[in-house]
Structure 1
């Protein structure tokens, strides 16, 4: 039986106790991690029995040499190893993409070329295309910028009609498990059932 995963959505940069708890999920919560958190526009957190087991953010602190207008990076995705292969990553990825598109931004994600699992996902997906490869500023390793094929920038470049942003009535992906709303810490805005 699959665990009952609950999702919390926040539309503000996490601070205080919540930020510390989210940073504990990161492999290396360094200065770049905190810069992303400072510029977070949207945070989705996966919870199991009150424990944070996954995190995904949409931020505007883009350091990759992307040439897209209004880039919104879907960065900082983490799922605890014990909770992988349960659909958490896919749900959080879909939720972040939906949010970024609804805000009229150009969703991008930056993948370390050594990350075979991420490469496999983006290569198979028709929803993402390579914008460019470059050498990472922080890692000095080959990186690839992927851009959403649903973004207005990409669609216009391909000669397709741009999609109209869906805000403010964004419909987020439906969850298969039954969930109940989560209460966030006292320093967070609100929580909604995803």
Structure 2
């Protein structure tokens, strides 16, 4: 039986208590991780029985040398190893992409070329196209910038017409299980709303 996963959306940088809890999901919550959290426009959190088991961020702290107009990065996605292969990554990814497209900017994501699982995912996806490869500023290793294939910037660059202008009231994908208001114990965060 699959565990019941709940999803929470927050449209602002997390509070210090929430930041600490989210940081525990990452392999290395370094200065760059905190820059992404500081510039967060959307934080999607997956929870199982109240414990955080996954996180994904849409942020504007873009350091990759993208040529995209108004880039918003879908960065810092992590799922606890015990909860992988349950569709959590896909739910977080779909929610982030839908939201980023609704912002009117150009959604990008940056993949370390050594990450075979991410490479396989993006290479077979019709939602993403390679923009360019570069040497990572922080790692010194080959990285690839992927751009959302539905973004107006990518479609125009490819000689295609835009699909639909940004819709500020866009409906985010339904979570496959319940939803949960995310706030630390004893804390109320008015900027968090149920998924």
Is TM-score (shorter-chain normalized) higher than 0.5?
yes
Aligned-residue CA RMSD (Å): 1.2
Partner of 2:90: 90
- Write the distance in 2 (CA, Å) between the matches of 1:82 and 1:175: 20
Contiguous gaps of at least 5 residues in structure 2: none
Alpha carbons 2:71, 2:108 under 8 Å: kept: yes
Partner of 1:11: 11
Alpha carbons 1:135, 1:142 under 8 Å: kept: yes
- Write the distance in 1 (CA, Å) between the matches of 2:5 and 2:141: 35
Q: Give the drift of 1:115.
A: 0.1
Matched, 1:188 2:193: no
- Write the distance in 1 (CA, Å) between the matches of 2:179 and 2:58: 23
Alpha carbons 2:46, 2:53 under 8 Å: kept: yes
Q: Give the drift of 1:187.
A: 5.6
- Write the distance in 2 (CA, Å) between the matches of 1:21 and 1:183: 11
Matched positions, count: 192
- Write the distance in 2 (CA, Å) between the matches of 1:119 and 1:107: 17
Partner of 1:136: 136
Change (3 A) 1:184 1:141: same
Partner of 1:61: 61
- Write the distance in 1 (CA, Å) between the matches of 2:41 and 2:174: 21
- Write the distance in 2 (CA, Å) between the matches of 1:13 and 1:187: 14
SS of the counterpart of 1:130? strand
Partner of 1:2: 2
Q: Which runs of 4+ in 1 moved over 4 A?
A: none
